[in-house]
Chain A
Amino acid sequence: MKLALVLARAADLPAACALTEAAHLAGDEVAWFAMDDAAPAVVALIAGPHPPWLGDTDVTLCATSLDRRQLAGPAGARVGSQDDHAALLAWADRTVALT
């Protein structure tokens, strides 16, 4: 299964992490698009001692959401646009929108 997670709320990050780890253990592919309130939370996650499954997760951060908060994308993270959001939904078999 190709699982997409759309994140727009920081408070949902723990659930997103648990779901992503479980999906990887099941052999699923997982990709994230993080915007709005979730973008700075994901920046902090990547910048910290991030869990091993994060390296297997395709993460894109919304550039507009970062710019509005005067944040830069951390090393190794892709900074993209709403086109990446659209591409993610086109790619996935299932989408969990934590918006």
Chain B
Amino acid sequence: MKRRVAVVIRAADSARVEEAMRAALGLTLRGATVSVQVTPAQLATPLALRAAAALASFGHHVGPSAPSLSDTEVLEVWTDVGPGVTAEGAVDGAAEGAVDGAAEVRPEPEPEPDPARRVLHLLRPAAPHPRLGPSDYLVRLDDTGPVLATGHGAPFPPGPLTWPQLVTLLGLADLVVTW
């Protein structure tokens, strides 16, 4: 099945931008229409520039404008790797690929909410608050587990969720976006 996929790149680290652009290019291999939100300043390496040129030559959108949430079926937001615990148990804030003190890049404008669709926003700790549509759900991914912060019409009250409850919300959403 062909998909409409959006890739929003909010990373400042050139290695992460390259990975996002490599993924975006690869996502075209099964016929998906891909829209990439990225600024010219982020395309700072030859690999990223080549991927952008290839995508554009195939007719896919690459630029700073936000993807439409009206027809996007899958949205990947690529951010910098923040401090966290690696599989080896080390804090990865200083690991390969991490950004030392760099501010996260936030291309403008933000994706415009679509009142006709329900987006489940998953918010990592310290991630910027996204724009919400009237029927969107906002779930924080806290260290202690998921927490429903906003959920108009959700089958659960605001507050801590179990993981099975989050799976229920996944099934009720038209689109899932992790920030």
Binding site for B on A (CB under 8 A): 1, 3, 6, 8-13, 15, 18-19, 21-23, 25-26, 28, 35-37, 40-45, 64, 81-83, 85-87, 89-90, 92, 94-99
Contact = CB atoms under 8 A, between A and B. Distances in A.
Interface residues of B, number: 50
Given A19-B166, A82-B29, A9 B81 contact: yes
B166 A35 contact: no
Main secondary structure of the interface of B (DSSP, over half): mixed
Interface string B146-179: 0000000000000000111011101101001110
Contacts of B164: 22, 25-26
Contacts of B122: 96
Nearest to A33: B23
Given A15-B141, A37-B95, A82-B23, 20 more contacts: A9-B84, A10-B84, A10-B85, A18-B163, A22-B163, A26-B168, A40-B87, A44-B87, A45-B87, A82-B26, A83-B29, A83-B30, A85-B23, A86-B32, A89-B27, A89-B32, A90-B1, A98-B178, A99-B76, A99-B77
B26 A86 contact: yes
A37 to B, nearest CB: 6
Given A41-B87, A85-B27, A35 B19 contact: yes
A36 B97 contact: yes
Contacts of A41: 86-87
B176 A99 contact: no
